[in-house]
Amino acid sequence: MKLKRMGVMNVTPDSFSDGGEFLSPDTISHRLKNLNQFDAIDIGAESTAPQNHSIPWQTEWERWQMVLPLLNDVTTTISADTYHPETIFELLKHWRDHKLKNRLIWNDVSGKFDDSVREFLKSGHDYIFCHNLAPSRELSGRHMDYVSHELNLHEYFRSHIHPHVIFDPCLGFSKTFEQNWEILETFGKIQKMSKHNRWLIGFSRKSFLRKKYGLEGRDELDRLHVLELEKIKNQLSGEVWIRTHRPDLIP
């Protein structure tokens, strides 16, 4: 098993985990420097927490303008957390125009493997395909309105195996409290049934962790995240990205 660490930075005012923390050049630059030592930096410019309203891609792209000038000194992979194809293709253009050598990952929480995804894959960069049952990209943030009793994750993923695709069960999206824990505890089995060797798992600071253990403090949640990872590490296989707010805690 090859473990990769992906650090999180949200340039948003309303993200559940770190909203409002990285909204100036100084705070963004400091965070980028801290995360540059890890395998990837996942940057989000729109919160998909169910209580928040969706925003147009132009607003998301405006937030990216705070980040783009600061990427010149970043050497690690950049993951763009967006369900807007317009944003990812603007980023691809920026990569080409500025001859950035970093790999670019499209971390797409929409769960829509559509023509825009197929077009993006032609670029040779990586794509994260998430389990989200919302019926359209525009409703990606309303994922908790669309929860199924039958997950069948291996069937959901199996038809989209591709060397540049990373599968993400997307814990916290379109899932009950019980389903989140079932997926986490049987993640290795899901990997094997889906017959794919590139995966991401992200449950850092998720509400189902807080709910089970009655924790509120971020430090406590971050330590708990590491303990839960240790419980499942032996069952994992292939390439596994760990998306976390504290990659420094992952051994």
pTM: 0.95
pLDDT score, position 27: 95
User: Residues 89-118: pLDDT tens digits?
Assistant: 999 999 999 999 999 999 999 999 999 999
Sequential DSSP letters for 38-50: SSEEEEESS---T
pLDDT score, position 16: 61
Q: Which fold has domain 2-249?
A: TIM Barrel (3.20.20)
- Arithmetic mean of pLDDT, 184-209: 94
- Cα→Cα distances 73→37, 100, 105, 107, Å: 12, 10, 18, 22
- CB 168 within 8 Å of CB 130: yes
- CB 240 within 8 Å of CB 2: yes
User: Residues 20-51: pLDDT tens digits?
Assistant: 778 899 999 999 999 999 999 999 999 887 66
Residue 139 phi, psi dihedral angles, 5° rounding: -100, 15
pLDDT score, position 22: 86
Contacts 24+ apart (CB under 8 A), 114-117: 116/85, 116/88, 116/89
Break the chain into its structural domains and give their ranges.
Answer: 2-249
